[in-house]
Structure 1
């Protein structure tokens, strides 16, 4: 009995220690420290073995991403305000005789300067563009990020800015966290974009957590469940109910979904679930065979530009009774 008691105490101690470690992980994953020295951000995949071990035990200390570039064409710096009163910085780029306006949503630990490749092509196609930094990213205020859960309010601020200019053709483009934010924001705020372009969105926050753990080579279970539990409590959000694949059912406008076949973070079943759930028959899935979780605009530029151009130029069609969309290789 004494031995069993000791074993039980050891197991209890290990469980408590595991929860402490994962509580720190959850806090650090959703907190961006100020970055006055403008240190560039790094992806976990680029960490050395020692850095990965340190991150595994103590979590990654994320710093605000640095805005290190700007559009080559004339642009206007705009200030948006979210529901917390935080100031968000954006760039508004006007086109001659614009066909509409594209709002670009960057990913986690990124910023608006990281989507300039996409911005340039949309501008080349004749669209106004609005690039903005989500809260806690780039030059926007705040330190806490909720992986798209509350960033929907940031997107709403950007959407309202464009709408106030009487724009009738608003297109939403987003990558990773930005794409997940779009999926959640459309039904949450009753947004009415004409078309939507999504690049490698995660199917659920639970899937996103597992993808992050895979990048650090940490076993997914039970760490994923505990990280989601602690993250939800620390940021006062329902992590388990945050499911972009479910929100996809509310999208009735044309949707282009892009995914990289070598993506270690967002897996094919997640992408298939989102695509299958999209509430429109006017949808396309384009797979980039040589890309991972990275910008397709830079990694497979010719294929990406063709997919974007074809999608935007396609005329809207009446939705048939049964979905007829095909996955494009």
Structure 2
């Protein structure tokens, strides 16, 4: 009996310490710091010691910066969230009269300068473009990221701005977190884009956390579920219920879904799940054989431009 009690105490201490560590990881994963001189490394780029250190202590992530600016004339636009955060965007006119307006949403840890090549091609096709820094990214205010959950409001604000300017043929483009924010925002806020282009969205937030843990050789299950849970507790929402693949059922406009065969962050089964659930008959899936979790426009430009050009005809 005494041995069982001791074992129970050891297990309880281990359980509590483990959860404190995992809650700390969830905090680190969703909070950015003002340190423009620090270059964030992907887990797969770290050496053994660096991986061991972040397993135990986490890593400080620097807030992203806009490394480039549009080559074309642009207007800087400011939007405000319900919580009072100021978001910054760039509106760039295409050839006039424009066919419509494409709103571009970057991925986790990136900024609105990331999809400038995509925006340039959309303008070649005859569209205006509007690029937005999500909260806690680039020149937008805030230091807390919810990996797409609260960023859905940012998608709505960008859509409402473009709509208020009198533009009606609106297309939403998003990469990774940007794509998942679109999947959540469209049904939640009853947005009515003409089409959506979704690049590498994850199926569930737990899947996104799991892939990050695999990258540093940590077991994804059940640790990913616990990190996801604590992340939601810290930010005030039920994170295990954040399932973009489920939101896809309420997408009823033409949709183009893109995925890279070498992606180690979003698995093929996630992509297939999102695609199968899309609630529109007008949907296409394009797989980029030479790409990972990265810009398809930059890395397989000819194939990406051909796919997007056909989709927007």
TM norm structure 2: 0.97
Q: In 1, are the aligned partners of 2:95 and 2:123 still within 8 Å (CA)?
A: no
Report what 1:195 is aligned to.
195
Report the counterpart of residue 316 of structure 1 in structure 2: none
> How far apart, in 1, do the equivalents of 2:137 and 2:155 lie?
13
Q: What SS does the corresponding residue of 1:114 show, helix, strand or coil?
A: coil
Partner of residue 317, structure 1: none
Q: How does 1:94-173 map to 2 (within 5 A)?
A: 94-97=93-96, 98-173=98-173
Aligned to 1:4: 4
Q: Is the 8 A contact 2:225 2:240 kept in 1?
A: no
**What residue in structure 2 maps to residue 254 of structure 1?**
254
Are the aligned partners of 1:263 and 1:292 in contact in 2 as well (CA < 8 Å)?
yes
Name the SS of the counterpart of 1:112 in structure 2.
Answer: coil
1:283 aligns with 2:283: yes
Name the CA distance, whole Å, in 2 between partners of 1:221 and 1:258.
27
Q: CA deviation at 1:3?
A: 2.6
Q: Cα distance, 1:4 vs. partner?
A: 2.6
Shift of 1:66: 1.5
RMSD of aligned alpha carbons: 1.1
Contact 2:134/2:154 (8 A) holds in 1: yes
Deviations 1:224-260 (A, max 9, x none): 1111111111100111111111110111110000001
Q: Distance between the aligned counterparts of 1:73 and 1:129, measured in 2?
A: 11
The 5-angstrom pairing of residues 288-327 of structure 1 reads 288-313=288-313
Question: In the TM superposition, what whole-angstrom CA distance separates every residue of 1:283-309 from its partner, at most 9, and x where no partner exists?
Answer: 000001111111111111111111111
**Residue 67 of structure 1 aligns with which residue?**
66
Partners of 1:106 and 1:116 lie apart in 2 by 10
For 1:271 and 1:60, locate their aligned partners in 2 and report how far apart those are by CA, in whole Å.
29
CA contact 1:39–1:66 (8 Å) conserved in 2: no
- Could you tell me which runs of 5 or more consecutive residues in structure 2 were left unpaired when the two chains were aligned: none
In the other structure, the counterpart of 1:27 is 27
Unaligned runs of 5+ in 1: 314-329
Report if aligned partners of 1:31, 1:62 keep a CA contact under 8 Å in 2. Answer: yes
Does the CA-based 8 Å contact 1:104-1:130 persist in structure 2? yes
Q: How does 1:187-226 map to 2 (within 5 A)?
A: 187-226=187-226
Q: CA deviation at 1:115?
A: 1.0
Q: SS of 2:115's equivalent? A: helix
**CA–CA separation in structure 1 for the residues paired with 2:303 and 2:68:** 25
Give 1:175's aligned residue.
175
C-alpha distance in structure 1 between counterparts of 2:261 and 2:138, whole Å: 29
Whether the 8 Å CA contact 1:107–1:174 is kept in 2: the answer is yes
Shift of 1:5: 2.4
Partner Cα distance (2:237, 2:288) in 1: 33
> CA contact under 8 A between 2:210 and 2:220: conserved in structure 1?
yes
Please report the TM-score for the alignment, with normalisation by the length of structure 1.
0.93
Is the 2:106–2:115 contact (alpha carbons within 8 Å) kept by the matching residues of 1?
yes
- Residue 38 of structure 1 deviates from its aligned partner by 4.2
Give the Cα–Cα distance (whole angstroms) in 2 for the partners of residues 147 and 39 of structure 1: 21
Post-superposition Cα deviations, 1:77-103, rounded to whole Å, max 9, x if no partner, equal 111111111111111100122111000
C-alpha distance in 2, partners of 1:190/1:283?
A: 19
| 1:45 Cα deviation after fit | 1.8
C-alpha contact 1:41 1:66 (8 A) present in aligned 2? no
Distance 1:59 1:154 in 2: 28
Structure 1 stretch displaced more, 274-283 or 208-217:
208-217
Q: What residue number does 1:80 align with?
A: 79
CA distance in structure 1 between the aligned counterparts of 2:16 and 2:271, rounded to whole angstroms: 35
